[in-house]
Amino acid sequence: MKKIFVLMVLLLTALLSVAAQKREKKERVPLSFRGDVCERVCTKRDGWERCEKQKKRNEWEVTCTDTRPGGRGGRGGRGH
């Protein structure tokens, strides 16, 4: 029983550490915006990996996500 408890604690710790590496931001943009909403909010230059947009009421809800290791933009060790 004690081994199962220890295993559960280790798995929970591993899951929390993976979630902590994920960077995310949410913004709202009016539906009247012309152009690519994802390009405006989640620019590749700022290191965002994925953009998802949902239509809510009279605006877009844009979610930018970066799950790459190395912090902001994952620039560690690539010479940028």
How many alpha carbons fall within 13 Å on the CB side of residue 37?
Answer: 19
Give a yes or no: residue 58 inside a domain. Answer: yes
Give a yes or no: residue 37 inside a domain. Answer: yes
Write the DSSP string, the chain: -HHHHHHHHHHHHHHHHHHHT-EEEEEEEETT--S-HHHHHS-GGGT--EEEEEEETTEEEEEEEE--SSSGGG-TTTT-
Q: How many domains are there within the chain? A: 1
- For 17-64, what is each residue's pLDDT tens digit? 665 567 889 999 999 988 899 998 998 888 888 999 999 988 999 999
Confidence at residue 63, expressed as pLDDT on a 0 to 100 scale: 94
Domain residue limits at 62: 21-69
